[in-house]
Amino acid sequence: MVPPLGPAISLRVMRDWIALQDSARMPTPVYLYDLDVMRARLAILNSMFGAQFDVSYAIKANPNAAIVKTAADSGQNLDASSYAEVVRARKTGIDPAKISFSGPGKRLTELELFIGTGSELVVESFEEIADAARIASTKGITQNVLIRVNPDFVPRGFGASMSGKPSQFGIDEQSAADAVAAIDAAPNLSLVGLHIYTGSNSLSADTIVENFENMARLFTELADGGSRKLEKLIFGAGFGVPYHNGQTPLDLEKVAAGTLHIAKLLRSYAGFADTTFILELGRWVVGPAGALLTSVLSTKISRGQNIRICDAGFNNHLAACGMMGSVFRKDWPVAHLTAEANSIEESVKLTGPLCTSIDALAGPLNLPFVKRGDVLAVLLSGAYGLTASPSRFISHPEPFEIIIEDGEFRDVTESHHNHIHGHGNA
Ligand SMILES: Cc1ncc(COP(=O)(O)O)c(C=O)c1O
């Protein structure tokens, strides 16, 4: 049996939104985020993993204030990777102790602002330990820290892997015990936990469970087999989303069976009975909750190929255009939202509006006839969409952001640049 993708934003909701717009001035590009879907996905995680794990939402996946607030209000922790993300987290009103600040390149000014705010610092280098110790001592406070460990071993099967090779992330496994000692020696730092995030976007339950086994081994070793009490262990989950044709959604039942078993062993035999275990992730929660809607600005046939030029390209969705870590561009799922009934499918190549040949959105692929003014959706786009894209390149209008909640649409656009939308020819 193919595992289900789980709740996702529906075509009906997207069409409802289109029906509310003036078709001559369609306000695209627009990211639609269905908050009810996001909540449903968080509820699935909590029901399947909640016996052992809390969840931390990685703000970088989608930092829109409405999304971050939804994660916080559903009881999750929040992981920030810049001080600006810390501020976004704090604005939700969440307990500061539920905020962690990770990331390899924290500025000294960010550390100065952050230290002493009651949240947890994930240190990623010896320099950062020294900086944090100095700042905490100057402020006369004790700062809680977690060490991000960079393991030697990462199982194959992640979309992108951050460990097992020279990298800017975390402290190498071989040096992690020295990092523990450095923190112990700093009177103003308190080691409260360990953090590992090794790879993202895996669709293999076996890979994820194997990775958890490795994290469990490392956590146990660093906690001296249970003699050191730690409050938190953060497991970078790496739960993936099937972006491409032929991919199978992650089998969450299988992941839960394997990881819950590991968690139970950690509690029984490794001294972590009262430790909070946390799954840190982003895309699995918000990816399927969102879509990018783009209008067709222009149609042409070039050397026999139907071309449709859309108002969103890699400026608005770098990942769907294959430029966020992929070796080859593969199409993301595209839906035709305004197709006429019974229209015949044809092969089309979808491009963005940018003056560069690398601006390929999808295709050639078969879609019901696509005419000028039609609206297409790039699905699974709630994570690493707008804010992971170079939206100021060529100064096209930046996408709107709209949330759907209880059947209502609300504009939560955070970019304010140059909103000239529509082509006026419908
Ligand atoms: C430290 C850390 N945590 C969490 C995440 C979230 O990953 P994902 O959105 O794939 O779940 C990332 C992504 O790069 C990360 O670097």
Q: What is the tens place of the pLDDT at every residue in 275-304?
A: 999 999 999 999 999 999 999 999 999 999
pLDDT tens for each residue of 144-157: 999 999 999 888 88
Cβ atoms of 333 and 406 closer than 8 Å: no
Ligand 1 pocket test, candidate residues 281, 286, 387, most atoms within 8 A of CB: 281
Does residue 422 carry a pLDDT above 60?
no
Cβ atoms of 384 and 319 closer than 8 Å: yes
Residue 421 confidence (pLDDT): 59
Rounded to whole angstroms, how far apart are CA atoms 75 and 61?
18
Kindly state the tokens that stand for 121: 């610092």
How far is the centre of ligand 1, averaged over its atoms, from the C-alpha of 340 (Å)?
40
Which ligand 1 atom lies nearest to the CA of residue 383? 9
Residue 42 confidence (pLDDT): 98
Nearest CA to ligand 1 atom 10: 200
User: Quick check: CB of 55 below 6 Å from ligand 1?
Assistant: no
Average pLDDT over residues 400-415: 96
E-only strand ranges, 311-379: 334-336, 345-351, 360-368, 375-378
Kindly state the tokens that stand for 139: 């402020």
User: Quick check: CB of 208 below 6 Å from ligand 1?
Assistant: no
pLDDT tens for each residue of 303-344: 999 999 999 999 999 999 988 877 788 999 999 999 999 999
- Provide CATH code, domain 35-286: 3.20.20.10
How far is the centre of ligand 1, averaged over its atoms, from the C-alpha of 348 (Å)?
34
Rounded to whole angstroms, how far apart are CA atoms 313 and 358?
10
Ligand 1 pocket test, candidate residues 197, 202, 204, 283, most atoms within 8 A of CB: 197
Q: List Cβ neighbours of 423 (8 Å cut-off, separation of 6 or more).
A: 295, 297, 372, 373
In the chain, CATH 3.20.20.10 sits at 35-286
User: Quick check: CB of 197 below 6 Å from ligand 1?
Assistant: yes
In terms of pLDDT, which residue wins out, 71 or 161? 71
Superfamily of segment(s) 287-411: Lyase, Ornithine Decarboxylase; Chain A, domain 1 (2.40.37.10)
Rounded to whole angstroms, how far apart are CA atoms 220 and 224?
6
Identify whether 288 is preceded by a cis peptide bond (ω within 30 of 0).
Answer: no
Q: List Cβ neighbours of 128 (8 Å cut-off, separation of 6 or more).
A: 106, 111
User: Quick check: CB of 281 below 6 Å from ligand 1?
Assistant: yes
How far is the centre of ligand 1, averaged over its atoms, from the C-alpha of 282 (Å)?
6
How far is the centre of ligand 1, averaged over its atoms, from the C-alpha of 347 (Å)?
36
Kindly state the tokens that stand for 315: 């400026």
Percent with pLDDT over 90 in the chain: 88
Q: What burial class does residue 116 get, using C-beta atoms within 10 Å of its C-beta: 0-12 exposed, 13-18 middle, 19+ buried?
A: middle
Residue 420 confidence (pLDDT): 61
List the end-to-end C-alpha distance of the chain, in Å, as a whole number. 45
Rounded to whole angstroms, how far apart are CA atoms 421 and 199?
38
User: Quick check: CB of 283 below 6 Å from ligand 1?
Assistant: yes
Helices 176-184 and 205-222 pack at an angle, to 10 degrees, of: 40
What residues pair up with 79 in beta bridges, in sequence order? 58, 100
Residue 153 confidence (pLDDT): 85
What residues pair up with 396 in beta bridges, in sequence order? none
How far is the centre of ligand 1, averaged over its atoms, from the C-alpha of 81 (Å)?
10
Eight-state DSSP code of residue 228? S
User: Quick check: CB of 128 below 6 Å from ligand 1?
Assistant: no
Mean of the per-residue pLDDT values for the chain? Answer: 94
pLDDT tens for each residue of 7-50: 999 999 999 999 999 989 999 999 999 999 999 999 999 999 99
Which ligand 1 atom lies nearest to the CA of residue 162? 16
How far is the centre of ligand 1, averaged over its atoms, from the C-alpha of 100 (Å)?
13
Ligand 1 pocket test, candidate residues 200, 211, 285, 324, most atoms within 8 A of CB: 200
Which ligand 1 atom lies nearest to the CA of residue 148? 1
In the chain, CATH 2.40.37.10 sits at 287-411
Does residue 425 carry a pLDDT above 50?
no
Chain center to CA of 170:
19
Q: What burial class does residue 48 get, using C-beta atoms within 10 Å of its C-beta: 0-12 exposed, 13-18 middle, 19+ buried?
A: middle
Residue 110 confidence (pLDDT): 98
